[in-house]
Amino acid sequence: MKHQEDVRAQAETFYRRNHRAWLLGEFTPRGISLQPPTAQDVAADGGRAVGEWLKHWAGYPGKVETVRKRLGYLGTYDVPARVVLDTPAAAATAAGCADEWVRMVEVLDLFVDKLGEKVRAPLAAEAQSWAQWNDLEVSQYVDVIRWLQENDTADYYLRELPIRGVDTKWIGDHDKVVAAVHSMQGFRQKPLMVEMRTLDPTLLVGDFLHVLCPVTELAARQVAAENIIIVENHQSFLALPQLEGTWAMFGGGYRSDTLAAGLGWLAEKNVHYWSDLDSHGFNMVSRTRAVLPAMRTVLMDLDTIIHHEDLAVEESTALPYDVTNLAPGEKQALDYLRERAQGRCLRIEQERLDFPWVCAQLEAQVRHSQLHIRPETTGDVEVVRDVVTQAFAGVEHSDGSEPAIVDALREAGALTVSLVAEQDGEVTGHVAASPVSIGDGTAGWYGIGPVAVRPDRQGRGIGSRLMEHVLDTLRGAGAAGAVLLGEPAFYTRFGFRPVAGLSYRAAPAEYFLALSFTDVPPPAGEVSYHPAFSQ
């Protein structure tokens, strides 16, 4: 024999599992058997328990089906046999959730009335999240959804919602129900910030020695520093010594690759990376190098480890997998740390390295890797020929004559400017400039080219530095202007533009570019280069 408590428990399970569907009008009646008494139950105790049971069900407010049944010597009775839950309200009442059900129906109807029928299904699915909201929360929710529907969230931070009582905490507490009806994506996000400081007082970051600003703002600035050191530890970043031509950037751990991707001009700089000597530090190197393939590390080599090995500890969260994209010296250093660990890897933190030693090593390594632009010497002839040959090998529109052009200009005494780029003790690039004649008789103009950078050093800003120096050299010599044949996307950044009426052979007009060094309008006519270019 089941009692009302038993029915309530079953009805509550039925209610909790199905009330969301009921809010959408999807209801199937259900009966709960009461397991009515038998003659044997009457005989067991003289009918006392059965009598109490009948009284127990006599005042039940819900719908109860009965059966005519003989109960031994007590006689024949209409015995309660089944409670029928034939409506959602009846089921909710049987479950002890009548008030909650009435409130849910009332609130959902209000939502639909204010926001449209389309919100019924998604809000019904989240009913348990809003069932206990008070009237103020319901009103605020309606206002929030209306505002989201009427405004472009891309123009606002979440904090800017103009609804009284609705702040970021309110959104955090109600986000699931808001997102059920309207996407919470698209609000303005906190900008990705980058922190930089100059290590060369003559090269300010904007107008400051030290700056923290959105990456997008710094990405749009002209950057004078030749060298950038990315440092993972903030205290080490703050303590870096002065270094000529150098800025420091705080990498902040696994943010460094994202920061690097946002600062396009880093690809044209000498970028050095310094992190902890452990598996995560080298993994940060790997990830950042995926964005900056030419990046080098400093203080992450075997010498640094051996010099500070007594300061090593076990890395508690060492990576269980191999780190790829490392230079041979970096891999050697990581292997050393792993081979000598009791666990997976040893760890030597940046801030534990001897600081005077750090300063000396940084200065030596950064200075050694700096790019130097200087005039060609007699000892450079062979290496210049090799660099130019490599630079133009397989290049579309090149017939391979560029090395011979440079040699012929030099032999004829027409190599007015010949500059080489030198880095790590090697010549990595070259630029030439020679006189040109123009059909209208204008004098003092020069042709720039060939411009050559070794293939393995391309994309690091060497070509840009060569162009800056050759233009400065020509201006300093009193030249009137320069012309060149090349890719507009690259050369227009230096001020070169196509000039109507100025042409070179059958070259497409958009690729033949000129730059005047004076206020005099550019000349007009056919440009003729030195005969060396006709070989």
Walk along the chain (535 residues) and give the pLDDT tens digit of each residue: 788 899 999 999 999 999 999 999 999 999 998 988 877 877 777 778 878 888 888 888 889 888 888 777 677 778 888 999 999 999 999 999 999 999 999 999 999 999 999 999 999 999 989 999 999 999 999 999 999 999 988 888 888 888 999 988 988 889 899 999 998 888 888 889 999 999 999 988 778 899 999 999 999 887 888 899 999 999 999 999 999 889 999 999 899 999 999 999 998 888 999 999 999 999 999 999 999 988 999 999 998 999 999 999 999 999 998 999 998 889 999 999 999 999 899 999 999 999 999 999 888 887 777 778 999 999 999 999 999 999 999 888 888 999 999 999 999 999 999 999 998 789 999 999 999 999 999 999 999 999 999 998 887 778 988 998 999 999 999 999 999 999 998 899 888 999 999 999 878 999 999 999 998 888 999 999 999 998 6
The token pair at 458 is 């391309």
pTM (two decimals): 0.59
- The reported pLDDT for the residue numbered 441 is 93
Percentage of the chain modeled with pLDDT above 70: 99
Q: H-type helices in 393-519, by residue range? A: 402-411, 462-476, 488-491
- Look at domain 193-369 and name its CATH class: alpha beta
- The reported pLDDT for the residue numbered 375 is 95
Q: Work out whether strand 246-250 and strand 193-198 pair parallel, antiparallel, or are unpaired.
A: antiparallel
- The reported pLDDT for the residue numbered 383 is 96
What digits encode the pLDDT tens for the residues 293-317?
889 999 999 989 999 999 999 999 9
Nearest Cα neighbor of 420 from 457, 459, 381 is: 381
Q: What ranges do the domains of the chain cover?
A: 4-95, 100-180, 193-369, 372-533
Nearest Cα neighbor of 496 from 509, 506, 477 is: 509
Q: Give all strands of the β-sheet with 270-274 in edge-to-edge order.
A: 210-214, 193-198, 246-250, 227-231, 270-274, 296-297
The token pair at 281 is 């530090």
Count of CB atoms situated within 10 Å of the CB of 391: 23
Using only C-alpha atoms, what is the Rg of the chain? 40
Q: How far apart are CA 73 and CA 42, in angstroms?
A: 8
Query: 477 vs 339, 445, 449, 474, 514, CA distance in Å?
Result: 60, 11, 17, 5, 18
Q: Which long-range contacts (CB under 8 A, 24 or more apart) does 489-493 make?
A: 490/463, 491/467, 493/464
Nearest Cα neighbor of 335 from 277, 391, 293, 385 is: 277
- The reported pLDDT for the residue numbered 75 is 74
- The reported pLDDT for the residue numbered 402 is 95
Average pLDDT, rounded, for the chain: 91
- Look at domain 372-533 and name its CATH class: alpha beta
Question: Which phi and psi (to 5°) does residue 278 adopt?
Answer: -160, 180
